[in-house]
Amino acid sequence: MAALTALLAASIFFLTYETRDIGLQEEDQRMVYLAEAGVERALRELRDDYLTNTETGTAQLRAANVDSVSVTNADRALYEEDANCTINDNGDSVTITTFDANYTHTKIVTVSLGVLADRASGGTGATIEISYSTDGTFPQVGNSVLTQALTTTPTYYYQDVTADRTWTWATIMGNDFTLRARRTAGNRNITLDYLFLKVTYEIDSTTEPWSTGTYETYPKTLGSGTIQTVSIDDEQGKVHVNTASQALLRYLMGEYGTADGTANTVATNIVNYRATNKFDTVEELQQVTGLTSTIYNTIKDHVTVTSYINPYAQGPAGARAPVNINTAPREVLEAVFDPLTFNNSSDVTNLASDIITQRNTAPFTCFYSSDTAITTDFYDFVRARAYLSNAEDDRVLGNADASELVPREGGNEEDSLTTEFSYDSSAFKVESVGRVATRDYRIKTILGDTAAKTFANYDGDTTATGYRRENFE
């Protein structure tokens, strides 16, 4: 009887254990489903943001190169702030190439030809023709043309060419993409002030629902558990460890408390490491000599390997990953400016503070625009900082510009000590937590700006491996 009782007790024990184990397995599975549901909700929000263009910017794309037929001082057509050039005769022309590279990952919404021009008074007037070519030949079949009879008052004129083709940045940044201005009728001189391409595109900022979290309320109950939290963090607001200069990496660590000497050494070690071993995860930074767990923990959330690297960046350092000026935290902004030379140490903190104040109400939309109706371009913002000298203006603007263009008449201070700004984002880090009872399951993953789940991690990586980490807590 005692043996039978013991056998019965053992059977009840194992039955209870197996039942409990099955229950825990089901609980684990529910947590996984809940966390995954949070990721899918974030994916849907990012996709909707991309498709609906919730925020846009418009820029006048400047050009770096100019050529002409019988037009003197043709380079004056490159900037609205410069003096004018004059087109005297029918058939004389100005052509421009190599355009502004500050927006080359954005989703293009509209494209227009643009010109600021007038004519001399009297005679039979003057008509200007603005056209473009994607292969360098004129006229090109299928391309819209702006034909405008001018007045004696300088006026902006536009021709929407969006419907001509499916526009891509590869087309605009192509070696053969050209804009041309010429006189086609009349006998009065044309005063050509500014010739450009106007592009409207999607931007990303912390005022959008994906960042504020207003697109959904959490915790969200689903069945017997909850999607506890979901966060979407912009990777473009971080420093890319595979392209950042030694100075930018050094000052970033300094912003988070690393001593100057140590930060300088570790930044050098990072640059040397990546020369032969591109980082394909942030965690790999822990393999760098001298990068302690303390340093790693202070910077790991402010560096990335998945933000957009601009292959069209035209400065001396080549391809670089711009930092989104609308989403970067204060410390990242200050690290971008720290390598530059300022008269007062407070200029860096003041500039970062002013940027954050501006973007909280009106995000930056472009680097440069001569349109006075656009008050969110970085160029005019910097020029309005009374505490910056003209030379400091030049250094800030030159280093924030992905184009090898003079930021203002008289100076170009781009030296690749830091990196440029962007106004949109290419990748977002999503963290989602599913909870059942008191247990959590966390998923960390990277989603592209179109909500794609896979993409190349770093320059030269063609495997589209993406990033994903999962764990019970």
Please give the Cα distance from 387 to 344 (Å, whole number).
Answer: 9
CATH code for the part of the protein at 56-202:
2.60.120.260
144 contacts: CB under 8 Å, gap ≥ 6: 113, 159, 160, 161, 163, 164
- Is 212 in a helix, a strand, or coil? helix
Domain ranges of the chain: 56-202, 209-429
> Which whole number is the average pLDDT over 360-364?
95
Helices 260-276, 246-255: axis angle to 10 degrees equals 140
Residue 432 has pLDDT above 90, yes or no: yes
> Which whole number is the average pLDDT over 106-112?
97
Cα angle for residues 72, 77, 83 (degrees, 5° grid): 75
Q: Omega of the bond prior to 219 within 30 degrees of 0, cis?
A: yes
Please give the Cα distance from 127 to 133 (Å, whole number).
Answer: 20
Residue 1 has pLDDT above 50, yes or no: no
Residue-wise pLDDT tens digits, 408-431: 444 455 666 788 999 999 899 999
The span from the first CA to the last CA of the chain, in angstroms, equals 46
- What is residue 401's predicted lDDT score, i.e. its pLDDT? 87
Please give the Cα distance from 74 to 437 (Å, whole number).
Answer: 72
Please give the Cα distance from 362 to 373 (Å, whole number).
Answer: 13
**Half-sphere exposure for 357 (CA within 13 Å, toward CB):** 7
Residue-wise pLDDT tens digits, 130-158: 999 999 999 999 999 999 999 999 999 99
* Inter-CA distances, 206 with 68, 134, 360, Å: 44, 36, 8
- What is residue 197's predicted lDDT score, i.e. its pLDDT? 97
* pTM, to two decimals: 0.90
- What is residue 5's predicted lDDT score, i.e. its pLDDT? 46
- What is residue 83's predicted lDDT score, i.e. its pLDDT? 81
Place of tokens 């001569």: 370
Mean pLDDT of all residues in the chain?
90
Please give the Cα distance from 260 to 254 (Å, whole number).
Answer: 6
Cα angle for residues 86, 90, 92 (degrees, 5° grid): 55
